[in-house]
Amino acid sequence: MKVYRISHGNRVFYATLEEGYFKSLITGNTSPVPIPASECTILPIVVPSKIVCVGLNYKAHAAELDMKIPDEPMIFLKPPSAIIGNNDAIVIPSASQQVDYEGELAVVIGQTTKNVLPQDIDPFIFGYACANDVTARDFQRKDTLFTRAKGFDTFAPIGPCIETDTDVNELGIRTIVNDKVRQEGTVADMQYSPAELLSYISHHMTLNPGDVILTGTPPGIGPLKAGDRVEVEIEGIGKLSNPVVDDDSLKTPMQ
């Protein structure tokens, strides 16, 4: 089931989309009558307390960088303020000279998760989505830490929906820039499976409902520029699409 987060009137809720109508999944919060999609606004799919990311989790990606797969998952955080939704613009900051795409599978947490074993993790997962771990690569090289490079506003596109019923372990993932495939891989190429990652992270921090885990990127990372459109497509889940602009284009000319 594909689930969207939408607003209608003064209400925000999760809903399914059927033949151009949204149907709320929360009884008592909205009208049980389906709402025309044209009357709704599709929002970013989550408002997490944290976004936990995993580095060097695809074997082929580590190989292209000539780097060794870590002995245990390498995790870091993105701020929730970086999240944008489908069709929202990725803004390239003027301070950076190289901003890269990184298409990824996102896992959305459904209930409080702490010290859970991999074989027991499924009930704690709400679903899966497409994501893009946008990165200021020059800052990453300069800082060695990831906070600044990964944390700019708009650097965590996610969406367009949450797929709640899929077996992710063999799914294909690809990133497309201006209609050309730039990244391609499968979840099976991960060193640590999504279940193993969630278990590992849950032994280091409590995961709350709505938190997001980005599970690493396949080979083929590369730069973006203003005017591009970048898409992350995962079979069985959907396609996340975002235009790219520079921050100068958002400034209001002085009168």
pLDDT digits (tens, 9 = 90+) for 169-178: 889 999 999 9
Q: Are residues 102 and 217 in the same domain?
A: yes
Please give the Cα distance from 45 to 85 (Å, whole number): 7
What is the average per-residue pLDDT within 151-169? 96
pLDDT at 1 over 70: yes
Q: Are residues 6 and 116 in the same domain?
A: no
Q: Which amino acid is at 248?
A: D
Q: Are residues 20 and 62 in the same domain?
A: no
Q: Are residues 129 and 168 in the same domain?
A: yes
pLDDT at residue number 27 = 65
pLDDT at residue number 144 = 84
Q: What angle do CA 203, 237, 107 make, to 5 degrees?
A: 10
Domain that holds residue 99: 51-249
Instruction: Tell me the pairing of strands 125-132 and 90-92.
Output: unpaired
Q: Are residues 211 and 105 in the same domain?
A: yes
pLDDT at residue number 63 = 82
pLDDT at residue number 255 = 41
Q: Do 102 and 55 contact (CB within 8 A), yes or no?
A: no
Q: Do 78 and 51 contact (CB within 8 A), yes or no?
A: yes
What is the average per-residue pLDDT within 139-146? 91
Establish if 254 belongs to a structural domain. no
Establish if 30 belongs to a structural domain. yes
Q: What is the mean pLDDT of the chain?
A: 93
Please give the Cα distance from 191 to 61 (Å, whole number): 11
pLDDT at 253 over 60: no
Question: What residues form DSSP beta bridges with 104?
Answer: 131
Residue 238: which pLDDT band, with cuts at 50, 70 and 90? very high
Q: What is the CA radius of gyration of the chain?
A: 18
For a pLDDT cut of 70, what percent of the chain falls above it? 95
Establish if 255 belongs to a structural domain. no
Write down the pTM of the prediction: 0.93
pLDDT at 200 over 50: yes
HEC per residue, the chain: CEEEEEEECCEEEEEEEECCEEEECCECCECCCCEEHHHCEECCCCCCCCEEEEECCEHHHHHHCCCCCCCCCEEEEECHHHEECCCCCEEECCCCCCEEECEEEEEEECCCECCCCHHHCHHHEEEEEEEECCEEHHHHHHHCCCHHHHCCCCCEEEEEEEECCCCHHHCEEEEEECCEEEEEEEHHHECCCHHHHHHHHHCCCCECCCCEEECCCCCCCEEECCCCEEEEEECCCEEEEEEEEEHHHHCCCCC
- Phi first, then psi, for residue 182 (nearest 5°) are -110, -30
84/170: higher pLDDT: 84
Residue 97: which pLDDT band, with cuts at 50, 70 and 90? very high
For a pLDDT cut of 90, what percent of the chain falls above it? 85
pLDDT at 249 over 80: no
Q: Are residues 8 and 123 in the same domain?
A: no
Establish if 16 belongs to a structural domain. yes
